Structure 1
């Protein structure tokens, strides 16, 4: 079990760029909230966003006019990640049933739907709220891809509210509250151009 996970970690570290901390922490969060997590669950948590590491003509594009949780984008993102991770696992000669289970979990990592999928989704949200808040705040300064304070707030709220597991939601509350406070500070700074940027790091 650990050798395949170690191989997947190396693959993530080699290719995932700025997403490496989020993906590694998602696996760690899953181990914390569910010590009995299966190999398939751990692999899915670790690799769920890997399609972003391999941009191509079929890379999905988010449309913020459909909301920060654009369902068409999230479905295409999840399906593409599942295909790419499935290909990687086949290259590692992983068992076919394991590959299918990992791909199934990645396909629903944004929405959950059954116990194993809900654990993976919760780990994704916890990791996002812990390590992916700052990149979204940074996008406000450049108005990158149309991310406004309202859109970022909606993204943070969605990543928190989608958590189905009560025990995971309890762990997410302080992370969510910190994210909203950092957003408030960033909004205040943007209203006062020329002032030193506040420190938003913990």
Structure 2
């Protein structure tokens, strides 16, 4: 598969079970959003380009025929940036091919697999049922988009079924308000 926003495989070393890709000097989106190595924050224009490029590559993966592909582990650490800050989606370790049989669509085609990846960016339905679908990538894209817009770490609140939600809600509201007020 070739797409301008997919990382390009340069070679492989079967003895070491290693794939070789082109070096991308700007690291990952996670690195840039965290301003690692004193890198400057990404401009709004760059962030919008990154979001647009991610949409483009996901549409490409999800609509390929006869087999579409679900990435399954979309997160800022797996989004690499080249010398011009062009997005390159990487790490297809848990991706799955989906078969498009007659009468099915991208929205109904699923694959059962064990959930693997970064919990914060994982589709809750995938976590609970093991059903990986294009919707799983869309959920992860939404979480990534929030990270792109806020540059803040993503986190997930998990409510325990036996917990007292009313007692926990005020603390959650205070944490959310305090996080939103930070520059």
User: TM-score with structure 1 length normalisation?
Assistant: 0.28
Give the number of the structure whose residues are more often strand, by fraction.
2
Q: Which has the larger radius of gyration?
A: 2
The two structures have a TM-score, normalised by structure 2, of 0.31
